[in-house]
Structure 1
Amino acid sequence: MASEDLGPNGHNVPSPPGDDLFVHGCAQRDHELFDARVHSSPATESDATVTILLRRSGRFLKALFEPGSADVVSLDTARRLNPESLVRVLGSFVTGDKCDKGDIASEVATFRVANMVALSTAKADLPGSLKLHGAPSEALPPVESRAALIDERLDNRLLDGRVVATAAIFKIFSGVHELAVEYLAARGFSYIPTPAFIGYRFPEEDDDYFSLSYFDRTARLAPTGEIYLGMALSADLERVYDIHTVFRREPASDGRHLTEFTMLELVFNLQNDWTEILELADSLLVSLIRSLQEREKYNALTQFAKRLYPSAGTFKLGLNENGKLIRVKFSEAKAILRESLGCQSNDQDDLTSEEEAALGRFLSNNKSHLGPPTDVFIITHFPRHLRPCNVYPSDEGGNTTQSFDIILRGQEVVTGCRLLHSHEELRSAFAARAHPIDPDSPEWRPYMAAHEIGMPPWGGFGLGINRLVQGFLGLTDIRETVLFPRDAARLTP
C-alpha cells in the first residue's frame, strides 16, 4: 500500500502511485488508486448504494459506493457530487470486469469504491449541451452537424479540452513537435530562436503585419523567422531551425487561417543545388506522417480522435517508385486543372485555395495518372512573378524558380525555395521589386550586411504545424488544432 496522507475531512487517503496503475486499463493490485472526473450526477439505488459514472482518459467506469464497503464519509460525499468534479478513488474492479479493452467507450468497467476524496468540486449547472464524450447512452451529434458546434466549444474550451478526442488533437500536435526535433537533431540542425518583435517591413505590405508601439518606435510581430535564420547561416551555423509562433494579419475567419500559429522553419547551407531542400522537405514530411501512423502512442491518439473525426486514421501516404512524394511542376498542375478537372485556370495566376483542394481530391483517388492515391504531394517550379524577389531563378529557364509547395489534403502546408546569396544579386532584386526595398535603410542593413560579409549558398522551407495536424486528422476547422486559437473573430478565451 502507498504511504498515506491526511486528506480532506480528516481521513487518510493513500498518496497516488505512478500513473501506470489505471492508464493501461487493467488492475495490477487488489486495490487501485486514481483520479477521475465525475461524468454524470450520482444515483441512489434501493439498497442505498450510490452509483456514479466516472471518466478517465476517455474511458468510463461505473463506480459503486456500497454501504459496508465504502466508508461513511465517502458515501456521503458521493451523494453530493456535481458532474465534472475531480475525485480520487481507492477500490477494486469487480471480478471479470477489470479491463476496458481498446478504444470502445461503451465498455464500462465496474469499480467498487472503498474510499473517495473530492479533490475539486465543480459548481452545478455547467454548460451541458456539448455531449461529445461518447459516454454510454449519450448519442454523439451527427457528423455533419459537429462543425456547427465549434464556436460553442471554443467558448467553453476547457470543458471541451476534457473530451478525449479534443485532447488527442493537442497531443498529436505536441507529437509533431517532438518528432520534428528528433528528426532535425539527428541531421545536425541547431535550434535558434528568432525574434517575435521585428523592425523591418516589406513596402506596400503593411496590411499583413500586426504593428505595435515599441518604446519610442514602431515594431511588428514576426510573420516568419526566415530573415533571422538566414542571418544565422552567415554566422557559420550552417544548419538551423526554429519552431515558433508567427503572426499574420489574416482578415478571414474561415476555418483555414489563424492570426497566430506555429511554424517549423529551417535553413541550411547547400552543398550542391536546390534539390537538397526539396529532398529534405520530402523526407521530413514522410517521416512525420509515418511516425504518426505507425508509432503506437500516436496511433492510439488517432483512434481517440476518430470518435469525433471519422477521417482520422484514413490519411493516404502514396509514394512514387523511389519512395518519394509525388511531384508535379506548376505548369503541369495547371494543365491537370484545365484538361482533367475542367477548370479555367491561367498559368500566370497563382493557385487558388479551390484549385489546391481540387488537385488534392484528384491525386487522392484512383483516377490520378501520377501514382498511387495520396493525400500529400509537391508542386515545384513556381513562376518568378509569384514568388518573393530573392528566390533563386530556375536553371531550367522559362521564368520559373527553384521553389516548391507541399499540398496536404488540399491545402498548402510547406513552402520552400533556394534564396539569393550574392549581395550584388540581392541588391538588384530589391531594386527591381514592384515596390522597391532600400537595402541601405536602417531596417534592412542587418540582412544586407549578412550577405555582404559572405553568405553561403542557402535555402530552406517553412512547415505550418497547425495545417499538418488539421490535414492529417481531416479536421474541418484549423482552430481545432489549438487549445486557445486566435483568428480575426476571436480573442478569447
Structure 2
Amino acid sequence: MADQAPPAEGAGPSKNALKKAQKEAEKAAKKAAAKERELAERTKNQANEPDVSKDNYGELPMIGSTPYTPSGDKRVKFSELKAQEEPAVFRCTVINARSQSAKLAFLNLRQGEETIQAVVAASEKLSKQMVKFAGSVSAQSIVLVHGLVKDVKEPIKSATIKNLEIHIQKLFIISKAVPQLPLQVEDAERPLPEEGAAEEPQKDDERPRVALATRLDNRVLDLRATHNRAIFTIKSGICQLYSEFMQSKGFTMIQTPKLLGAASEGGSNVFECTYFDRKAYLAQSPQLYKQMLVSAGFERVFEIGPVFRAENSNTARHLTEFTGLDMEMAFEEDYHEVVDLIVEMLLFIFKGLRERYSKETDIIREWASGGKNTIEDFKLPADGKVPIIPFKEGVKMLREAGEELGDYEDLSTPQEKHLGKLVLEKYGSDFYVLDQFPLAVRPFYTMPSPHDANLSNSYDMFMRGQEIMSGAQRVHDPELLVKRCLAMDPPVNPDGAGLKDYVDAFRYGCPPHAGGGFGLERIVSFWAGVGNVRLASLFPRDPSRVLP
C-alpha cells in the first residue's frame, strides 16, 4: 500500500490533535460545572444556615420616613478614634468594599479628609452572610458603623489613619450609591491630564487622568476628592480672614443690588434678563453703590458677593460669574493710604493662610503636581516691603527684557506674566502692585493723575504675575465726573438711567475715596498654584457652561 501523503501546507490540524482538544474542552466544561454546583450548594447551605448577624446589617429605612426613636449611641469622628474595648459608632462614606473570601471582607471608609481601613471577619458571632453583604456595598454609599477600634502591627498604606483599623460588628446602609458611577472619586483625586492630552493613562500611570470638563460635568462626585475639600476650605478661610481684617479696621459689611435697571457702567459685558415687563441687567460690580454709600456717610465699606461679566473669554483665569471681594474707603490726603491698607490686608490673608491652612495648601499642591511637590511656595519679600512699581517702570523693565509696547498701552496677559517673573527676580516677591495706569484704559470714575495727563491714580495688584485686583482713586467731584463721562470713547451719558442718581450723590458732598475689587477664585488658584480658576469655583460658569 502506498504511503499516506502528508497534509497539504495550510491544512487543518490532524485527527489526533482535534480529539485531544475535544477531550480538554470536555474536561474544562466538567470542571466548570462541578465548580458551579459547588458554589450553588454552598450558597444553598449558607441560605439554610442560621444568620446570627441578621439584625446587625442591612439597609436602614429612610431617615424621616419612620417615627424617630433615639438610639442613645454617641457618634464619633475619625479624629477621636483610639484603640478601645467599647464599640465606636460613626457615620461615614464607603470608598470601596471587597470580599477577600467567604469569611473576610475589607472596606475603606472616609469621613471628611480622614480615611481608615475596616475589617468584617466571620466568627461564631458574625455570619458569612454579613461578610458577603459588607463586601458588596457599593462605593460612595453612606453607612452607619458599629465597631471595635484596634491597633495594627504594620502601618496601613491605603488610609490616612495608619495605626488603627475598625473591626466591624454592625453595618447599616443609610444611603445607597448606584453600582456604576459616572466618575470614580479615585480618578478625580489624580492630577488633570497634561494640556492637550486625552483621557487615557499617561506615562506609567495605571488609571486614566480625567479631563476638567468630565470632572465639572459630574461635579458632585468630583467635589468628594480630598484636594477639592482643601480648595474650598481655603476659599472659605480667605473670606473669613478678609472679613476679620476689614472689620478690625472699622469697615462695615454691605450687600449691594445684583439686579440693575440699566447697564450703568457702560460697555457690552453685561447679562440682560427679563424683569417683569422690562429689561434688567446683572451687576458687573458693586462699584457705583460702594461710592454712593461713601457719600451717604459709610466711609469704610466692604462686600463679598457675586459678580457677573458677559465676557466671551475662555481662558484659565476668566469666569462669567465669580465672587468679588470689594472695598471702598474715604482717605484723608492721598490715595496711597488706601493702597497701603489693601497691601496690609493681603499680607494678613497670606500670613493667615500659612498659619491656619498649611495642611490644605500642601494637599492641593501635591495633587496639582501629581505628588511631586513641584509647585513653588508663594514668595513674599524678605523685608516685608511689597514692591509698589510705577507703571512706567514696569514698561521699562519689560522693554529691557525684549518686549515691545508703548508708554500708555495696557499690558497683555503674557506681558503681565513676564513682568511677574522680572519682579520675582528683582524683588523676591510673587505679590506686587503696579501703580499709575494709563487713564485711557480705566473706567470713567477714575481720577486722572496730577503727574501726567495720560496716567491715572489707579493700581492693579498681582499674584504670580497675574492680576487679582483692579482699583483706583475715584472722582468725587460731580463736575469732573461729568467731564470724564463725556470724554470716554464712546461717551457715557451722566444723565442716563442708572448714572444720574450716582452722579447726583456727589453733588451732596462726598469725601475723597478709593477702593478696589478682587477676584476670590483667582486668589485661591494663584495661592495654591492650581492654574485654572474653574477649580476654585464650586459650580463654575464660563461662556460654555451654565450646568450643573
Alignment of 1:42 with 2:101, yes or no, is no
Shift in Å, 1:319: 2.3
1:105 deviation in Å? 4.6
Give structure 1 stretches of 5+ with no counterpart.
Answer: 1-5
Distance 1:217 1:104, change over 3 A: same
State the Cα distance separating 1:106 from its structure 2 match.
9.0
226, 237, 240: which one aligns with 2:287: 226
Query: What is the one-letter code of the residue matched to 1:8?
Result: L
Question: In 1, Cα distance between the equivalents of 2:254 and 2:299?
Answer: 11
Assess, with a 3 A threshold, how the Cα gap between structure 1 residues 313 and 271 changes in structure 2: closer, same or farther: farther
CA-atom RMSD in angstroms: 3.0
Among residues 166, 169, 172, which one is paired with 1:114 in the alignment? 169
Of the candidates 415, 419, 429, which is equivalent to residue 374 of structure 1? 429
Q: How do 1:65-464 residues align onto structure 2 when only pairs under 5 Å count?
A: 65-68=120-123, 71-72=126-127, 75=131, 77-96=133-152, 105=160, 107=162, 109-128=164-183, 131-132=186-187, 149-201=211-263, 205-206=267-268, 208-295=269-356, 298-310=357-369, 314-319=376-381, 321=383, 323-339=384-400, 341-364=401-424, 368-369=425-426, 371=427, 373-397=428-452, 399-464=454-519
2:87 — aligned with what? Answer: 31
SS across alignment from 1:40: strand
Distance 1:300 1:335 in 2: 40
Q: In structure 2, how many angstroms separate the alpha carbons of the residues matched to 1:482 and 1:97?
A: 42
CA–CA distance in structure 2, aligned partners of residues 234 and 414 of structure 1:
23
Number of residues of Structure 1 aligned to a counterpart in Structure 2 = 470
**Aligned partners of 1:184, 1:29: CA distance in 2, in Å?**
50
* CA 375–69 in structure 1, closer or farther in 2 if over 3 Å, else same: farther
Structure 1 contact 23–57 (Cα < 8 Å) conserved: no
**SS where residue 50 of structure 1 aligns?**
strand
Q: Tell me, in whole angstroms, the C-alpha distance in 1 between the residues paired with 2:168 and 2:249.
A: 52
User: CA contact under 8 A between 1:58 and 1:133: conserved in structure 2?
Assistant: no
Greater RCO, CA 8 A, separation 6+: 1
Post-superposition Cα deviations, 1:18-67, rounded to whole Å, max 9, x if no partner, equal 65x31366558843222222122321325x12212223333432211122
Gap change, CA 1:452 and 1:468, over 3 Å in 2:
same
* SS of equivalent to 2:353: helix
Larger Rg: 2
C-alpha contact 1:277 1:461 (8 A) present in aligned 2: no
Deviations 1:176-199 (A, max 9, x none): 111111111111111110101112
Q: Which amino acid aligns with 2:137?
A: L
- Structure-2 change in CA distance of 1:358 and 1:459 (3 Å): same
Give the structure 2 partner of residue 3 of structure 1.
none
Give 1:242's aligned amino acid. E
Give the Cα separation in 2 of the matches to 1:349 and 1:82: 58
- Measured after TM superposition, the shift of residue 344 of structure 1 is 1.6
**In the alignment, which residue of structure 2 is the partner of 1:62?**
117
Question: Which residue is equivalent to 2:30?
Answer: none
Q: More deviation in 422-431 or 177-186?
A: 422-431
Q: SS of 1:42's equivalent?
A: strand
Question: Aligned AA for 2:471?
Answer: G
**Structure 1 position 96, deviation (Å):** 4.3
Alpha-carbon distance change, 115 to 140 in structure 1, aligned in 2, over 3 angstroms: farther
Task: Report the secondary structure of 2:367's partner residue.
Answer: coil
Contact residue 290 and residue 301 of structure 2 kept, 8 A: yes
Aligned ranges 1:482-493 → 2 under 5 Å: 482-493=537-548
Greater shift, 281-290 or 26-35, is seen at: 26-35
Distance 2:431 2:406 in 1: 23
In the TM superposition, residue 386 of structure 1 has moved relative to its aligned partner by: 1.6
State the alpha-carbon separation in 2 of the partners of residues 235 and 191 from structure 1.
Answer: 15
Shift of 1:125: 1.1
CA distance in 2, matches of 1:212, 1:269: 34
> Which amino acid counterpart does residue 82 of structure 1 have in structure 2?
S
SS in 1 for 2:448: coil
**What's the % identity of the aligned pairs?**
29
Residues in 1 aligned to 2:288 and 2:145: alpha-carbon distance in whole angstroms: 54
Q: Describe the shift of the 1:29–1:374 C-alpha distance in structure 2 as closer, same or farther (beyond 3 A).
A: farther
Tell me the SS of whatever aligns to 1:119: strand
User: Per the alignment, do residues 375 and 8 of structure 1 end up closer, same or farther by CA in structure 2, a change over 3 Å counting?
Assistant: same
Q: Which stretches in structure 2 are left out of the alignment for 5+ residues? A: 1-57, 200-208
Is residue 223–residue 246 contact of structure 1 (8 Å, CA) maintained in 2? Answer: yes
The aligned amino acid for 2:486 is A
Q: TM-score, normalised by structure 2?
A: 0.79
Q: 1:414 to 1:444 in 2, by over 3 A?
A: same
**Worse-superposed segment, 453-462 or 303-312:** 303-312
Structure 1 residues 70 and 280 mapped into 2: Cα distance closer, same or farther (>3 Å)?
farther
CA contact (8 A) 1:415 1:463 kept: yes
Contact 2:143 2:173 in 1 (8 A): yes
- Compared CA separation, residues 44 and 193, structure 1 to 2 (3 A): same
C-alpha contact (below 8 Å) 2:95/2:139 kept by paired residues? yes
Query: What are the superposed Cα offsets for residues 255-284 of structure 1, whole Å, 9 maximum, x if unpaired?
Result: 221000000111111122100111011011
Measure, in 1, the Cα distance between the counterparts of 2:88 and 2:520.
39
TM-superposed CA distance for 1:490, in Å, is 0.7
Separation in structure 2 between the aligned mates of residue 487 and residue 187 of structure 1, nearest angstrom: 35
- Per-residue CA deviations over 1:64-100 (Å, capped at 9, x if unaligned) read 1122387558545313311111112121222247998
In 2, the alpha carbon distance for the partners of 1:124 and 1:33 equals 25
